[in-house]
Structure 1
Amino acid sequence: MKTLRMYPTSLNERFLDEAVDVLEKGGIIIYPTDTLYAMGCDALNNGAIERLCKVKGVNPQKQTLSIVCDGLSMASEYARIDNEAFRILRSNLPGPFTFILPAATTLPKVFKGRRTVGVRIPDNPISRALSERLGHPVLSTSIPQDEECGDPSAFADEYAGIASLLIDGGEGDGIPSTVVDLTDSRDPEIVRDGKGELI
């Protein structure tokens, strides 16, 4: 697996282009977010999504799939966001949250039968830049990491035959995102406590 070292405070344009090229060709990458490291693929590529789900043992018909967007404008193309949900998202993003929202029909067929989608806009310029350059979301699934082992090289070997590229953005913190169910925006429900504290 090729490793590109890049930090959120100093984005490398050439490395970002290289990572997006892998995504556009249906490949899987490992990259940093503002919580755990994640594996990602093009969220509009059915084949890539199915491969990533198989690797992680995720059943896309039963589990909520999450997409990483570069901002609220992109998120609103793939999830239905009412006024109250928009207010909550605007107050808390970018940040360490996954918001479960009603899925829009623009998502690919692997999402069919799923009424919801997890939306992330991480407070990490690398992950947002990937979505921005791709022009649409990156499907994302966290890689389990404990708090003592946030070094991406420690799990790179484990996924060497799966991911084509690792963006090493420094140590992760081992704490997952806070998951908030916003399918009823008047009654947000915290499904999983994580790094984020909802405002």
Structure 2
Amino acid sequence: MANRFDSSDLEEAVRIMRNGGIILYPTDTIWGIGCDATNSEAVKKIYTLKQRSDSKAMLVLTDHDCKLPGLMREVPELAYDIIDMAIKPVTIIYPNARNIAPELIASDGSVGIRITKEEFSKALCNKMRVPIVSTSANISGHPSPHFFHEIEEEIKAQVDYIVKYRQDDLTPSLPSQIIKLDVNGEVKVIRE
């Protein structure tokens, strides 16, 4: 376990994802399974690994709100206020998603995006220059692991890379708040 991630850990995770692989990595909430969110084949690998229906959309992470306009036709102005005022991680479901794998876009055209503030996942998004998938590191229907040691061996065995950073970290984390924004500015809180 590393207390501060080293660049070789980050570089290897980026290399794997750029080559269509999937990784296990720490996020600002719980450990996640990730890949390049613009790569359909990699996204399909995650659905297969999680044994999850592809009708259940997965969220994506990015490192800065300036990248939002590239991921949807129009960013609701309120989104920036919500992001700025958030005390804990917040996932916003936006309408009219674009420039990501179609498998990540819900049937209504929306996508869930979180701006990560966690050190490793933020650096990962920055280095990838595209959003990355972030879905809980569990088989669909099984409990979400809060810590690395709770992740099922089946998951660990099927990813292409496991990030070393924070594997021994037992700091409790909170799930993200989930808010859905509509094009007309309507706000719906899905999870507080």
Calculate the TM-score normalised by the size of structure 2: 0.82
Report SS of the residue matched to 1:190: strand
**Given that residues 94 and 180 in structure 2 are in contact (C-alpha distance below 8 angstroms), is that contact kept between their aligned partners in structure 1?**
yes
Work out the percentage of aligned pairs sharing the same amino acid: 24
Cα 1:135/1:50, change in 2 over 3 Å: same
Report deviation, 1:45. Answer: 0.8
**Given that residues 131 and 137 in structure 1 are in contact (C-alpha distance below 8 angstroms), is that contact kept between their aligned partners in structure 2?**
yes
Corresponding residue for residue 110 of structure 1: 103
Report deviation, 1:135. Answer: 0.9
Provide the alpha-carbon RMSD of the alignment.
2.5
**Given that residues 93 and 113 in structure 2 are in contact (C-alpha distance below 8 angstroms), is that contact kept between their aligned partners in structure 1?**
yes
Corresponding residue for residue 37 of structure 2: 43
Distance 1:34 1:150 in 2: 11
- For 1:160, the aligned partner's letter is K
Corresponding residue for residue 157 of structure 2: 161
- For 1:104, the aligned partner's letter is A
Corresponding residue for residue 66 of structure 2: 73
**Given that residues 70 and 98 in structure 2 are in contact (C-alpha distance below 8 angstroms), is that contact kept between their aligned partners in structure 1?**
no
Distance 2:37 2:49 in 1: 16
**Given that residues 49 and 155 in structure 2 are in contact (C-alpha distance below 8 angstroms), is that contact kept between their aligned partners in structure 1?**
no
Moved more, 105-114 or 16-25: 105-114
Runs (5+) with no aligned partner, structure 1: 194-199
**Given that residues 95 and 111 in structure 2 are in contact (C-alpha distance below 8 angstroms), is that contact kept between their aligned partners in structure 1?**
yes
Match 2:124 to one of 120, 126, 130: 130
Corresponding residue for residue 94 of structure 2: 101
Aligned residues: 184
- For 1:65, the aligned partner's letter is M
Cα 1:11/1:185, change in 2 over 3 Å: farther
Report deviation, 1:29. Answer: 0.8
Cα 1:37/1:103, change in 2 over 3 Å: farther
Report deviation, 1:35. Answer: 1.3
**Given that residues 35 and 172 in structure 1 are in contact (C-alpha distance below 8 angstroms), is that contact kept between their aligned partners in structure 2?**
no
**Given that residues 22 and 34 in structure 2 are in contact (C-alpha distance below 8 angstroms), is that contact kept between their aligned partners in structure 1?**
yes
Corresponding residue for residue 196 of structure 1: none
Cα 1:83/1:64, change in 2 over 3 Å: same
Runs (5+) with no aligned partner, structure 2: none
- For 2:182, the aligned partner's letter is T
Distance 1:34 1:146 in 2: 18
Tell me whether 1:89 sits opposite 2:89 in the alignment: no
Distance 1:179 1:26 in 2: 28
Moved more, 151-160 or 13-22: 151-160
Cα 1:136/1:157, change in 2 over 3 Å: same
Tell me whether 1:13 sits opposite 2:34 in the alignment: no
Report deviation, 1:84. Answer: 2.0
Distance 1:89 1:129 in 2: 18
Corresponding residue for residue 63 of structure 1: 56
Report SS of the residue matched to 1:99: strand
